[in-house]
Structure 1
Amino acid sequence: MPASEPVLLGRKRVLPSCPNPLFLKWLTELRDEAKEKGLKIQYTYQKAISSLNKYPLPLQNAKEAKILQNFGDGICKILDDKLQRYLRENGQDAPIHSLPEGAPPAGRRDNNNLAPSKKKNAAGDHGKEKGKGGKGGRGAAGKRKREYVPQKRSGGYAVLLALYRESQLPGGKGYMFKMELQTEAQPLCDKSFTVPDLGSKYTAWSSVSTLIQKNLLMKTHNPARYSLTEEGSALAERLDSAERGSKDDPEEVRSDREEEEEEEEGGPGVVDLTASDNEEEKEEERIQPAERLTCVAPPRTEADGTGDAGNTKAASRKPGAGSLLPGTYEIILCVDFIETTGGGSHHRKQELVKELQRNGVNFDVRKLNVGDFLWVAREKVAPVPGQLRAPAARELVLDYVIERKRMDDLCGSIIDGRFREQKFRLKRCGLRRPVYLVEECGTAASHLSLPESTLQQAIINTQVVDGFFVKRVQDVRESAAYLTVMTRYLTKLYQNCTLMCRSRELEGDGGSDEEERESPSCSLISFAEFNHGAVKNKCQTVREVFARQLMQISGLSGDKAAAILEHYNTPHSLLTAYKRCVSEAEKEKLLSSIRYGKLKRNLGPALSRTVYQLYCTEGALT
């Protein structure tokens, strides 16, 4: 076999700043001409240039640019006229997404983008200015535009460095979520990304809006993903080189303060990355970054089934400023207020509270938007002298949530459809270990609306098919005993762990693999984020509402609804497909061949006919 070619290592090829350099060049010439004549339309052209620089796709003609901000009929007509003239001079097959050979590159610097007739004057005005990498001077034209460089160890500085270093890692995804970015950037910043200074409402995260305005940072998707632009990557590379003490920096990094002093003194100054952008920041209190800590979990035992594999993975994570160290927090059982008051037997619910108090369980009654019981690690805070109330304690939710069901409640929830919806919401709540606590109801079971075999089958399906852990107890006292044992077990399990705050945005980053399930997770969601994300009646998309409609049909499970949504993601698309059918028989069988689940079975004609009748029958259903 021939020898394999050596692998060439190096930086990624830098992509062009704009896929439409011809349009950019013409707009720049128009802006410069208007600038020389003192016309205010120069600002309109500049806004169009900024919009075009941010657009990542090639344009075939100027009319397609109307979707961009600041592109009106006038600008599009001018560009189309220039495009037609260009094609007549260079041929109809001339490339329009690259500049002709010998043409100056389209960019943002005024000197490089002037029209040919204006370059001579520009050269005279800026004759003292050096090429790229030089310190540059000023001519008769006035002040040269200064580059924005964030202050060292400021919020913007830390965000740029964190994103740049993530992009240099092997297999880096090129973007970061908000919580992830704050965690990585905090050690590089002297201010907190989450807590404002005393007397101020701004945190280090406030500087992100400035980076976006300066076209150094991009914010896309929902949840938001933050990534560097080409300019931001170039600036971050220089900042990183200076941070690591590199001497072969391609350009000298100049702070805003140095450039202001240079303008006053009439010459270039010495590069100083530690200079402040303004006087106020020098007076701000410096907050020391959190120390790098490790997560130590209890040794593996037969009772809890935990091992060292998860500890190695958890220890590799870097806790940010929101970490809770061992001994600085306590484990609290949270009980949904519905479990203590209102609805059902009040005596039975008060008995649960009394049993927990009798067992010495530290619990708190509050509103839970999903589940009936869960545990939080609550920070221990001491009262501050001179303040009426103690500071608010941080709370991180442990990965265990319990839904309690009496047999009569289980029967009612199966009939009205709540049972399936509750399981769906528990799976999506962000906690990895949901538990169903099934409580027998004694002789009342003989008077239920559903046969006992149906209820037993529902419980087995919950454990085997849905993957929930099911714990069966006889009465309220056993339920309280189970909650007591779980509280003490979790207190011991997490007693030596350093807990870090993660975001639900990072739920797909390896949090649900088997290795994570075998160890106590030290990366947890804050209680506020968990409870807000579990709101039952929050705003939903049309696709989500359509899925919930479909799941109300008897026999149409979540897998079947998801399979239908892959083909028809809204009711309108489904009704449009029905209209295209030529006969009633074809409409009834439209969904029958859709495959669902791991076994890829067909939905079948019966279910397809039911969906058709639901959405296409006029008047009341019989």
Structure 2
Amino acid sequence: MSSPELVRYGKKRVLPVCPNPLFLQWLNELRDEAKEKGLKIQYTYQKAINSLNKYPLPLKNAKEAKILQNFGDGICKILDEKMQRYLRENGPNASIHSLRAAVLPPAGAAEEQNRQKGDAENHGKAKGGGRRKREYVPQRRSGGYAVLLTLYRQSKTPGSKGFMFKMELQTEAQLLCDKSFSVPEVGSKYTAWSSVSTLIQKNLLIKTHNPARYSLTEEGVALARRLEASEQSSQVRSQVRSDEKNEEELEGGGGLVDLTGSEEDEEGMNPAEVHHSAPQPISSSRSAVDLSSQMMSRTSRRDRLLPGTFDIVLCVDFIETTGGGNHQKKQELVKELQRNGINFDVRKLNVGDFLWVAREKLAPLPGQLRAPVGRELVLDYIIERKRMDDLCGSIIDGRFREQKFRLKRCGLRRPIYLVEECGSSAAHLSIPEATLQQAIVNTQVVDGFFVKRVQEVRESAAYLTIMTRCLAKLYQERTLTCRSRELEGDGGEDQDSLMSFAEFNHGAVKNKCQTVKEVFARQLMQISGLSGDKAAAILDQYTSPRSLLMAYEQCVSESEKEKLLSSVRYGKLKRNLGPALSRTVYQLYCTQGALS
């Protein structure tokens, strides 16, 4: 006798309707065709179908589906071709988020879909009317929660720039989040930063510029304000409970005698002092104000490093320690620094070979494998190290001028050239030694760099050692604040206003997407005799080729156009650019023929 079939009780779960029915149908057709032919790609199509069924938002085109799992370039290309054909047949305004008669699924599937939709509506009515769309509110201590609160609090600090960069936002938000913003959990590929895409989709956060700037929308500010109020109320309640508990302990401790006091002390006390020494109940409103001010104070402190809370660390570019033909000499530099007891860190520097950071001291947390990473602010000193053979090669291939330009534009105020002499080996270089010496002098006198000459690697290590110790002493009693490189004049001449290392290194990427102003500067520097200072002076008045061309159009004569830039002042001595360079620039941008 066969066993009876199991009976499952309860209501059947209503499946949501896929908002991308066309893509779903086309994927089903592709899977069925592959299945008939016995192709293994049928399983890939099935995985894509499963991913699409889970995705709750409508897709405008197949390229947007690349964010879903199992949607590669091949599937997206096929779906785009099908969609173009569908729009040609049904008109460019045809909806791709509803099934038309020509592409309806089989009758049974349509009836099932309608039945599910009707069941969903009836289920909602049975609970008392239509359902309202649930408002998105991130969970406390989640990534979205931390990002919203951090941006809101930053916007309320004095002198706020109204946005935050990725690195500084991650660093500040980590204090409010239980998950890591950089390391995914075991078995997952998502971090707390993944919630930023959700905030952008929900129109709570906006991302602009390059490097990316993150700021709150009006809806984001409103939600963050509510989260802040809730956070403060939670802390107030916790503080009140703590105070009430302390008060109960004091009231119940009548049997305790203070053996440190005396009757004379108690009799000699002012009545007002006796009144204030008694435990006072704390009101919620007063606690809220106190806690709010404390939180604002903590927010301000996060933008600065107080004396004694940081170490000065030398950062060495990894190229200076490994690889190349001078590998042995590079290792000698590292060994000398170790022998001198210098605290240094080897990392990738996008500009320069050596610099120093003020690194925040953080104690390891109980239960955590790794110690938390402290904030790092870059001191205003950066060193480019040059051996004579390297200087020769960089002059020949044009790197020397570009490096000087990038050092001047990196945002640090004290660039230094550390030049190692070659001794007798200079006679075997492809450029005469006199020319190399002249290039070094020009770097100091014309370009305004501080140049330190040494004879060998040991002297370089000694100089780095002395600099590290001097900077540690120079900054030990200072309060350092964080400034942004993106804001012109931010920090002014304040020597204690420094950039974060993350922002500095990201802004110094050599092959990053460049602005029109940066490309214009590179164009100008290709002109013989037009140095970085001269290009910067031109950029101060004309930020793009278009603005320069418009200025040429306003000139009434050819002679006036040729002399337009001649009175532009450059460098510390404020010298004029001169008529020769002015005429060359004019011919470059306004003459079709060869330059004269």
Query: Structure 1 length normalisation: TM-score?
Result: 0.50
* Preserved contact between residue 330 and residue 380 of structure 1 (Cα < 8 Å): no
CA distance in 2, matches of 1:558, 1:496: 36
Once the two structures are overlaid, the 10-residue window that deviates more, 390-399 or 331-340, is 390-399
* Preserved contact between residue 340 and residue 353 of structure 1 (Cα < 8 Å): no
Counterpart amino acid of residue 450 in structure 1: T
More helix by share: 2
1:156 maps onto 2:144 in alignment: yes
Deviations 1:45-77 (A, max 9, x none): xx9xxxxxxxxxxxxxxxxxxxxxxxx999xxx
Counterpart amino acid of residue 552 in structure 1: Q
CA distance in 1, matches of 2:579, 2:421: 39
Q: Secondary structure of the equivalent of 2:152?
A: helix
Match of 2:382 among 401, 413, 419: 401
CA distance in 2, matches of 1:349, 1:212: 47
Identify the residue that residue 604 of structure 1 maps to in structure 2.
Answer: 578
For residue 550 of structure 1, report the CA deviation from its aligned partner.
Answer: 0.9
Equivalence map 1:357-396=2 (5 Å): 359=340, 368-374=349-355
Q: Which runs of 5+ in 1 are unaligned?
A: 1-46, 48-71, 75-136, 247-291, 294-312
Counterpart amino acid of residue 496 in structure 2: E
Equivalence map 1:195-210=2 (5 Å): 195-210=183-198
Counterpart amino acid of residue 423 in structure 1: K
1:427 maps onto 2:412 in alignment: no
Query: Structure 2 length normalisation: TM-score?
Result: 0.52
Deviations 1:556-591 (A, max 9, x none): 233432444466555566568768878654553344
* Preserved contact between residue 203 and residue 217 of structure 2 (Cα < 8 Å): yes
Equivalence map 1:121-136=2 (5 Å): none
* Preserved contact between residue 330 and residue 379 of structure 1 (Cα < 8 Å): no
Identify the residue that residue 72 of structure 2 maps to in structure 1.
Answer: none
Q: 1:218 to 1:554 in 2, by over 3 A?
A: same
Equivalence map 1:119-518=2 (5 Å): 142-169=130-157, 171-245=159-233, 317-318=301-302, 331=313, 334-337=316-319, 341-342=323-324, 352=333, 355-356=336-337, 359=340, 368-374=349-355, 399=379, 400-406=381-387, 418-429=399-410, 431=412, 433-442=414-423, 448-450=433-435, 455-462=440-447, 466=448, 468-487=449-468, 510=490, 513-516=493-496
Q: Secondary structure of the equivalent of 2:214?
A: strand
Q: Secondary structure of the equivalent of 2:185?
A: coil
Counterpart amino acid of residue 434 in structure 1: P
Q: Which runs of 5+ in 2 are unaligned?
A: 1-59, 61-90, 94-124, 235-293
* Preserved contact between residue 218 and residue 229 of structure 1 (Cα < 8 Å): yes
* Preserved contact between residue 178 and residue 226 of structure 1 (Cα < 8 Å): yes
* Preserved contact between residue 183 and residue 319 of structure 1 (Cα < 8 Å): no
CA distance in 1, matches of 2:127, 2:344: 73
* Preserved contact between residue 333 and residue 457 of structure 2 (Cα < 8 Å): yes
CA distance in 1, matches of 2:351, 2:484: 15
CA distance in 1, matches of 2:197, 2:437: 60
Q: 1:530 to 1:614 in 2, by over 3 A?
A: same
* Preserved contact between residue 411 and residue 455 of structure 1 (Cα < 8 Å): no
Q: 1:506 to 1:141 in 2, by over 3 A?
A: same
1:560 maps onto 2:534 in alignment: yes
Counterpart amino acid of residue 192 in structure 1: S
Q: Secondary structure of the equivalent of 2:385?
A: strand
For residue 479 of structure 1, report the CA deviation from its aligned partner.
Answer: 1.8
* Preserved contact between residue 313 and residue 345 of structure 2 (Cα < 8 Å): no
Once the two structures are overlaid, the 10-residue window that deviates more, 354-363 or 482-491, is 354-363
For residue 381 of structure 1, report the CA deviation from its aligned partner.
Answer: 12
Counterpart amino acid of residue 526 in structure 2: Q
Counterpart amino acid of residue 410 in structure 2: C
* Preserved contact between residue 326 and residue 498 of structure 1 (Cα < 8 Å): no
Greater RCO, 1 or 2 (C-alpha within 8 Å, sep 6+): 1
Q: 1:208 to 1:491 in 2, by over 3 A?
A: same
Q: 1:456 to 1:434 in 2, by over 3 A?
A: closer
Q: 1:429 to 1:453 in 2, by over 3 A?
A: closer
Q: Secondary structure of the equivalent of 1:536?
A: coil
Deviations 1:117-147 (A, max 9, x none): xxxxxxxxxxxxxxxxxxxx99986223333
* Preserved contact between residue 373 and residue 403 of structure 1 (Cα < 8 Å): yes
Q: Secondary structure of the equivalent of 1:156?
A: helix
Counterpart amino acid of residue 606 in structure 1: A
1:549 maps onto 2:523 in alignment: yes
Greater C-alpha radius of gyration:
2
Deviations 1:249-291 (A, max 9, x none): xxxxxxxxxxxxxxxxxxxxxxxxxxxxxxxxxxxxxxxxxxx
* Preserved contact between residue 207 and residue 215 of structure 2 (Cα < 8 Å): yes
Counterpart amino acid of residue 324 in structure 2: G
Deviations 1:435-462 (A, max 9, x none): 3223344467795243856743532445
* Preserved contact between residue 331 and residue 490 of structure 1 (Cα < 8 Å): no
